[in-house]
Structure 1
Amino acid sequence: MLFNPMITILVVSTITLVITGPIIQGLANGLADGINWLVSESGWIGGLIIGGFYQILVIFGLHWGVVPLVAQQIAGSGQSALNAILSATMVSQGAAVLAVAIKSRKDDMKTLGIAAAISAFCGVTEPAIYGINLRYRKVFISGLIGSGVGGLITGLMHGTMYGFSGSVIGFSSFFNPKNPNDLTSFYAYLFSTIAAIVVSFIITWVWGYNDNMQMGKKVEKKATPK
């Protein structure tokens, strides 16, 4: 009782700090660099790819390698085109789970779905992903398709963000504080958000979910890196 926990913590902590930690951090940093390169080299291709796959990184906790990159961009230049794309991915998962909540006749699905949709529209997609979307894989895929469309539009219109927030409540971050008359990014946000919501909602409603589907097993959320 005394030595087993102590030895376990010692061994696991050593392996984490020396082997698995650096490997995962290196992978996350590599993904962040690749994402940044995609955005800078080709806005619309980067928007499509990043928009379509970013929420998959959230499942594995690898998105934490991207967050510091966004913070660095905003601190350095005052804006982040990458964060503008990520905003559409949050909206899409929210629209997908909202479609489930509205379509389902199950009270528990409606309650959970509406709460998760509100959370996603406020910029936190984990309740939607782990609560419903990932457990009904077609719902999650529907959200990815919508976010790919949203990212594509953002890239085509060269949208950027001037703040760290995102999703529906992050609309004010798309206004250029240095040039209030420049509404390019806001229009990019508006069109990409509407497209992401419509596409995700319709695909989920038509193809992604019905009450006869079996819910998959619960997926545990990845812990936030310390």
Structure 2
Amino acid sequence: MAWLIGLGALAILGWFAYSTVSALQQTADSMAQPVNSLGTQVAQALQPVGALSTQVSEVLHPTPTVMPDPVTIIHSVRSLARLETVQYTVEKVVTAEEGQKGLSFLFGDRLLFVAHGVVIAGVDLAKLQPQDLWVENGVLYVRLPEPEVFVATLDNQKSYVYDRETGLLTHGDIQLETAARQVAEREILQAALDDGILDVAKRNAEAYLTILFRDLGFHEVLFVEGTPVPTAQPTP
């Protein structure tokens, strides 16, 4: 009998606990609804402010519109036979400035330009003449054109203005960066020349052509300078 009474008491306690939890859950849900509603109202109220901020940003910092002319003019077409044998990648820092030294804080303009450039050199095989190749005693003699620089240009994706300072009474010279780029191109070319890019281009061209001529059946190839000897026989 006692165990029946205990079982009934447990059932009553379980029902009471379930009722209490359900009541608390309903109360929490009812309290959360106004909060969620308030959050939605605040978000809706702030939408015009966000839209206005976006419009102001677009006015102050408009996106540039680039419209190329539909007409393209090709001035010339020229066949090339250039053998590019070496490429230099050069970085150069250029400082460009203008304005009187004493009044630079008022009228001066100064920028620091970091230039990344590419210099490509090789030999122009289109300049190779029939008399520049001859065979004597089973030896192929070759007189190559002088090596030259084909390309010396800036990499616009990597070149940039690192810093710029303008005076209080000036907005700066729009041509100053252009001048800095022109100087940077010349400096990059000169740096490659000083490092011996033409000599490297010549050696690489000779090494490449030696392999090519040997594959064609000329087992001995000599590169010479000057005019061919009188007994030379042009290759067919």
TM-score, normalised to structure 2, is 0.21
Structure of greater Rg: 2
- Higher helix residue share: 1
Identify, as 1 or 2, the structure richer in strand: 2
TM-score by length of 1: 0.22
Higher relative contact order (Cα pairs below 8 Å, separated by 6+ residues): 1
